[in-house]
A = this chain, B = another copy of it.
Amino acid sequence: MTSIFKVVIASPALDKLVQPLSRDYTVIRGWLAQDPAIYLDAGVVVAAGDAPLDTQLLAMMPALRLVVCATRGYDGIDVDRLAAAGIAFSHVENVNEQDVADHALGTMIMHRRALLEGDRLVRGGRWERAAELPNRSFSNARVGIVGLGRIGRAVANRASAMRMSVSWWGPREKPARWPRAGSLIELARESDYLVVAARLHHNVGLVSREVLDALGPTGYLVNVSRGRLVNEDALIEALRDGRLGGAALDVFEQEPTPAARWDGVPNTFLTPHSSGKTAEAFHEMSKQVGTALARFFGTISPESESLNEDVAGPRRAGARGAR
């Protein structure tokens, strides 16, 4: 239907939102060439926080009043600039942290229990070589978590349930039932698995060549946060040289990552930033974006709004939250 309420979707990664939002709004795909006139009276942008928000697009929208970020992280969005322009900002909450942690755990099990190698043995008629599989228990395995936010804690809880010894590091002390390492280098040195769950803000290149070398030839890196947290060139070099044992990467410096970049890089498991993109997380994200839009357009009453206390509403941009 055509609605007088206009919503601009900023990124093709959110294309799935077009259909559900079109029930109530006129939805514009902002990444497609459009008649500039269409943007003149559009008051809302929905953005994906892990990609830079197109400033040219924003410049075409003089009536812009609200940016809704459909991801919890919003490192692609200059919230200070929005605040200076008097534009409100909101982002979704608690959508997929548990899913991301499940994904991280799955890649660790695949690696430690040599699951893919096992499947190849059976299908190749080489069952009798099963005793040679590098099949290790999680008892006594050590996981180091970089960044003890919601994802980091969810990974730590699962790793504890699997008898792993858990440590973490972050720039600030936090209440936690797991010990904090003295430094990131120390955490890497004392871990079999290093799980990157930090926010990107102020942390570009945090997992440096030195950190990778501290993790070492029997260490395994899992990144489910942001690609640019890791020095990806140094990572590839360490994997090629055998100075790092392996890596499961769900995020990359550039996304999509070029397939050729990983040709012949050994001991890698690569997924397309899918760790948080379950059907259920999309459903929840879609619901929260819908609520933020309904509040902005005034299409929900205070009574129905009170039913959504657990849902993040708009707040003034510039307030500091997680990125």
Roughly how many angstroms separate A298 CA and B290 CA in the complex, as a whole number? 75
Interface membership of A256, Cβ < 8 A? yes
Q: Tell me which residues from 178 to 193 in chain A have a Cβ below 8 Å from any Cβ of chain B.
A: none
Among B98, B119, B122, contact of A139 (Cβ-Cβ < 8 Å): B98
Interface residues of A in 267-285 (CB under 8 A from B): 269-275, 277-281
Contact B162 A272 (CB under 8 A): no
The reply to whether A103 and B98 form a contact with Cβ atoms under 8 Å apart is: no
State in angstroms the CA–CA spacing of A273 and B114 once bound together. 12
A: interface residue count bin: 35 or more
A133 to B275, CA, bound (A): 11
Asked whether A272 and B122 contact (CB < 8 A) given A102-B109, A106-B115, A131-B15, the answer is yes
Is the CB–CB distance between B138 and A99 below 8 Å? Answer: yes
**Inside 8 A of A161's CB, which chain B residues have their CB?**
157-158, 161
Q: List 22 A-B contacts (CB under 8 A).
A: A99-B138, A102-B112, A102-B113, A102-B138, A103-B109, A105-B105, A106-B109, A115-B271, A118-B272, A118-B274, A119-B270, A122-B256, A122-B259, A122-B272, A125-B258, A127-B272, A130-B273, A130-B274, A135-B277, A136-B280, A137-B279, A137-B280
